[in-house]
Copies of this chain bind each other. A is one copy, B any other.
């Protein structure tokens, strides 16, 4: 009954219901499964824009400005920031407070930070489930912000319509930092902090690897270039409408599968297997066979 109510309000776009449902998803509670199952029939029409790049390039500020621009265009927008932070405390170390301030400026922008909490599976399935909930809440534009380490971006790229790779001058070895993984998934390159020294050189270097992909310059703190960037991103996203669904389903299914297997393994058979491994009585392959046979 409570879930009925929550689902109904969520689908009407109620931010409190959305926030509550996201918490359930983040905690991987059973209620989350129930909610997701109920809204699963929904087919989203959101434009989902990935924003990634190394730490310190101003991704959060840029996401805020893009969201504000989306609002100015009359769109219902949300920011989902995936935080590859502490598995121990489950919280962000720094920066969250700045983020909340930005959110407070325009309460009609739904902002959510989500820790990945050291889940096995990289950028945890929780992120994909959260994305699905935001779509069910009928957001027009969803910004999915991640710190670019190269690994997770591949999965993120599978779940978004367009990926903005953000870099900034003065960060040291910018291109070195932006490992091939994130350069390859880029649909638009962004030189943020473009009023700083080195922006020209960075834009030039990027243009060499960008091919036909646009290289945009922004200064998120002043809003310079943000409108043009959003227009680019939405145009690319619109050109791909529909193709994302299958990819999202694929990464989501893969995650649900491994979570399900893990949940089914009895604590005792896991401990037995580990003890046998440490004693070198079985190989990891044999131990895995044993565990699977018991399922």
Q: Which residues of A contact B (CB under 8 A)?
A: 33, 36-37, 40-41, 43, 54-57, 83-89, 91-95, 116, 118, 120-123, 147-152, 154-155, 168, 170-173, 175-177, 179-181, 183-184, 245-246, 249-250, 252-254, 256-258, 260-262, 265, 273-274, 277-278, 280, 283-285, 287-289, 291-292, 295
- Bound CA–CA A261/B55 (angstroms): 35
Copies held by the complex: 2
Name 27 interchain pairs, CB-CB below 8 A, sorted by A: A40-B283, A55-B173, A55-B176, A56-B177, A57-B172, A84-B150, A85-B150, A88-B184, A92-B179, A94-B175, A94-B176, A118-B151, A120-B155, A121-B121, A123-B151, A149-B151, A151-B152, A249-B277, A250-B274, A253-B273, A254-B262, A256-B287, A256-B288, A257-B261, A257-B288, A257-B292, A260-B292
- Please state if B84 and A278 are interface contacts (CB–CB under 8 Å): no
- Bound CA–CA A241/B77 (angstroms): 52
- Min CB distance A56 to B, Å, is 4
Which of B88, B155, B181, B287 has a CB less than 8 Å from the CB of A253? B287
Closest residue of chain B to A89 (Cβ to Cβ) is B180
- Min CB distance A243 to B, Å, is 11
- Please state if A256 and B280 are interface contacts (CB–CB under 8 Å): no
- Min CB distance A250 to B, Å, is 6
A91 to chain B: which residues have CB within 8 Å? 180
- Bound CA–CA A147/B287 (angstroms): 31
- Bound CA–CA A274/B257 (angstroms): 13
Closest residue of chain B to A86 (Cβ to Cβ) is B180
- Bound CA–CA A285/B85 (angstroms): 27
A280 to chain B: which residues have CB within 8 Å? 40-41, 43
- Please state if A249 and B278 are interface contacts (CB–CB under 8 Å): yes
- Bound CA–CA A180/B92 (angstroms): 7
A150 to chain B: which residues have CB within 8 Å? 83-86, 147, 149
- Please state if A285 and B121 are interface contacts (CB–CB under 8 Å): no
